[in-house]
């Protein structure tokens, strides 16, 4: 399992303000998570991605296979780097998968950033080969490791290429993400394999999240709009970052899409 946080706002904020500084930040969740369905810590790496539109449309990404609490370089950089869109995550590696940087979220390709909170059970022995057989040559050749998350992202990239999604097109991004979840879920169900698929993806303007599992409730996911610590912004997180009463749970088996200007839509999966 992993823990994710995403920020989309009208103003730029330092990375540290959503990753390190809140009372229940990703840093705290790395050693003291409160709502994880499996595992007890998130010590198998972390990463943060952000956008600098005045430079180009592709995100900058910082990833490490070390625990977030052990990375002094990120702690020194995070207060000095600001962005209006941030996607960050800490990792607890899926059992059976190596704890190496190739499996650390967020993943990136072109303008897209992607993170996955969840797991496909016994991935390498069950769903890995069938899912990777579905990939285009382009997506397959881009794989760096054996993580279930990277494979799901590759499948989503194929859907996005086919749909020719335009920057900021939250509806098309949501449709492609939902279809990817359905394809993975259908295959895993046929194999009798449990899959939890809380997914976050952004193109630097729009952002989409899913909360989904093939059996039972999905991993926790929360949303806050215009919170006390984040006015004129939206934050999505696996666990609430603070005690603000504005946090509300994202419904199970749903897709959350956020377009430019902070327009939020919710649909069922």
Provide the annotated active-site residues. 2
Cross-sheet strand order for the sheet of 248-249: 60-64, 46-50, 82-91, 2-14, 230-237, 222-227, 248-249
Q: What distance, in Å, lies between the first and last C-alpha atoms of the chain?
A: 21
Q: CB 85: neighbour CB atoms within 10 A?
A: 23
Q: Do 228 and 246 meet the contact criterion of CB atoms below 8 Å apart?
A: yes
CA trace torsion 78, 145, 58, 239 (10° rounding): -50
Token output for 265: 């839509």
Cross-sheet strand order for the sheet of 264-268: 107-109, 112-120, 195-202, 207-211, 254-258, 264-268
**136/194 Cα distance (integer angstroms):** 25
């Amino acid at each position: 399992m992993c823990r994710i946080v995403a920020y989309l706002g009208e103003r730029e904020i330092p990375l540290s303000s959503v990753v390190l500084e809140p009372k229940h930040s990703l840093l705290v969740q790395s050693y003291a998570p409160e709502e994880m369905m499996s595992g007890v810590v998130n010590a198998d790496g972390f990463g943060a991605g952000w956008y600098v539109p005045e430079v180009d449309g592709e995100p900058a990404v910082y990833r490490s296979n070390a625990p977030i609490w052990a990375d002094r370089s990120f702690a020194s950089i995070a207060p000095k780097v600001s962005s209006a869109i941030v996607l960050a995550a800490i990792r607890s590696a899926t059992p059976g998968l190596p704890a190496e940087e190739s499996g650390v979220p967020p993943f990136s390709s072109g303008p897209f950033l992607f993170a996955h909170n969840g797991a496909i059970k016994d991935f390498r022995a069950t769903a890995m080969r069938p899912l990777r057989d579905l990939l285009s040559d382009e997506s397959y050749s881009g794989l760096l490791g054996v993580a279930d998350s990277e494979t799901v992202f590759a499948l989503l990239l194929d859907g996005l290429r086919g749909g020719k999604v335009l920057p900021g097109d939250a509806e098309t991004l949501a449709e492609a993400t939902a279809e990817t979840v359905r394809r993975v879920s259908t295959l895993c169900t046929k194999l009798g394999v449990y899959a939890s698929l809380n997914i976050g993806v952004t193109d630097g303007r729009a952002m989409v999240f899913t909360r989904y599992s093939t059996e039972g409730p999905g991993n926790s996911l929360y949303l806050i709009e215009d919170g006390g610590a984040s006015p004129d912004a939206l934050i999505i997180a696996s666990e609430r970052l603070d005690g603000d009463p504005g946090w509300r749970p994202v419904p199970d088996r749903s897709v959350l899409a956020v377009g430019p200007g902070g327009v939020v839509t919710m649909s069922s999966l």
